[in-house]
């Protein structure tokens, strides 16, 4: 753990637990510097992260104010696994692996990754996510078999990311995402229990590692009436 992350984590936790509450000023940067035994620069880097995530707003000559930040709903941005998200939201859910086979990539990822290879073989997983006995999401993943040679049913029904990072020691770095609204397919209707003519919200992502190699394409199909994405953004 770096000193930076320690300061960042601690401040975030204290804001979450209302040790510092909304509309209040944090201690000044020099006070935090003394408190944590870190240089002002290190403190400032921690504060910058909190600013970017919507925890605080800094004002020249005054200090850093705690913002009434959102309870998490479903973040658009953030490269986070379904399992991690369920944990943060304190929800429990069940995942069913519906299908696994070798295929080539569908064209629907072309807008996200114009240079994708459409002749290369990928491992395709179809998983259904059930919350409170209701199916709400279908995840269709395409994983590069050169990087991830095999995926067991247990892994698929628990967490791909845990497996990738913990067991395979892959360093997931970033993703490009896209949200659209589309007519439900026959598969959607079957697995999400939808009537004919329904719409679904589709989140497609292309995920890359540290070394910029793209290794996973995901299509996440949500029941439209359960879809709610939230986001914090700063004016640049």
Nearest to 138 by CA among 88, 91, 194: 194
Please, which residue, 75 or 145, has the CB nearer to a second copy? 75
In the complex, minimum distance from the CB of residue 230 to DNA, in angstroms, rounded to a whole number: 25
Please tell me the distance from the alpha carbon of residue 217 to that of residue 204, in angstroms, as a whole number. Answer: 7
Please tell me the distance from the alpha carbon of residue 189 to that of residue 173, in angstroms, as a whole number. Answer: 34
Q: Are 222 and 203 in contact (CB under 8 A)?
A: yes
Please, which residue, 8 or 142, has the CB nearer to a second copy? 8
> Taking CB under 7 A as the rule, does residue 41 contact DNA?
yes
Enter the DSSP assignment of 165.
I
Q: Which residues in the 64-93 window bind DNA by CB under 7 A? A: 64
In the complex, minimum distance from the CB of residue 40 to a second copy, in angstroms, rounded to a whole number: 13
Tell me the two tokens of residue 172. 């997931």
84 makes contact, choosing from a second copy, DNA, none, with CB < 5 to 8 Å by partner type, with none
Strand partners, 142: 124, 217
Binding mask 34-63 for a second copy (x = CB under 8 A): ------------------x-x--x-x----
In this structure, what are the phi and psi dihedrals at residue 190, rounded to the nearest 5 degrees?
Answer: -70, -50
In the complex, minimum distance from the CB of residue 65 to DNA, in angstroms, rounded to a whole number: 9
Helix 40-52 × helix 3-16 angle, to 10°:
50
The interface region with a second copy, picked from 85-93, 121-129, 187-195, 208-216 by CB under 8 A, is 208-216
Q: Are 147 and 217 in contact (CB under 8 A)?
A: no
232 makes contact, choosing from a second copy, DNA, none, with CB < 5 to 8 Å by partner type, with a second copy
Query: Dihedral of CA 32/33/36/41: which sign?
Result: positive
**List of residues contacting DNA (CB under 7 A):** 2-4, 25-26, 28-31, 37-42, 44, 47, 58-64
**List of residues contacting a second copy (CB under 8 A):** 23, 52, 54, 57, 59, 65, 67-68, 70, 73, 76-80, 111-115, 172-181, 197, 199, 201, 208, 210-212, 224-225, 227-236
């Amino acid at each position: 753990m770096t000193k930076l992350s320690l300061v960042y984590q601690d401040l975030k936790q204290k804001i979450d637990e209302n040790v510092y509450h909304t509309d209040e000023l944090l201690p000044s940067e020099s006070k935090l510097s003394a408190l944590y035994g870190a240089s002002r620069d290190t403190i400032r880097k921690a504060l910058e992260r909190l600013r970017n995530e919507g925890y605080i707003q800094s004002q020249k000559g005054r200090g850093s104010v705690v913002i009434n930040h959102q309870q998490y709903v479903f973040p658009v941005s953030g490269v986070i696994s379904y399992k991690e998200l369920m944990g943060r939201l304190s929800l429990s859910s069940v995942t069913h692996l519906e299908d696994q086979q070798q295929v080539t990539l569908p064209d629907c990822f072309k807008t996200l990754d114009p240079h994708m290879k459409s002749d290369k073989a990928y491992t395709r997983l179809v998983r259904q996510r059930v919350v409170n006995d209701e199916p709400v999401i279908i995840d269709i993943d395409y994983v590069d078999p050169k990087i991830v040679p095999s995926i067991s049913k247990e892994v698929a029904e628990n967490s791909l990311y845990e497996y990738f990072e913990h067991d395979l020691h892959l360093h997931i770095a970033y993703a490009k995402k896209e949200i659209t609204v589309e007519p439900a397919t026959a598969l959607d209707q079957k697995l999400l229990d939808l009537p004919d003519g329904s719409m679904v919200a589709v989140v497609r992502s292309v995920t890359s590692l540290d070394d910029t190699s793209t290794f996973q394409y995901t299509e996440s199909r949500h029941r439209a009436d359960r879809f709610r994405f939230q986001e914090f953004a700063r004016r640049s």
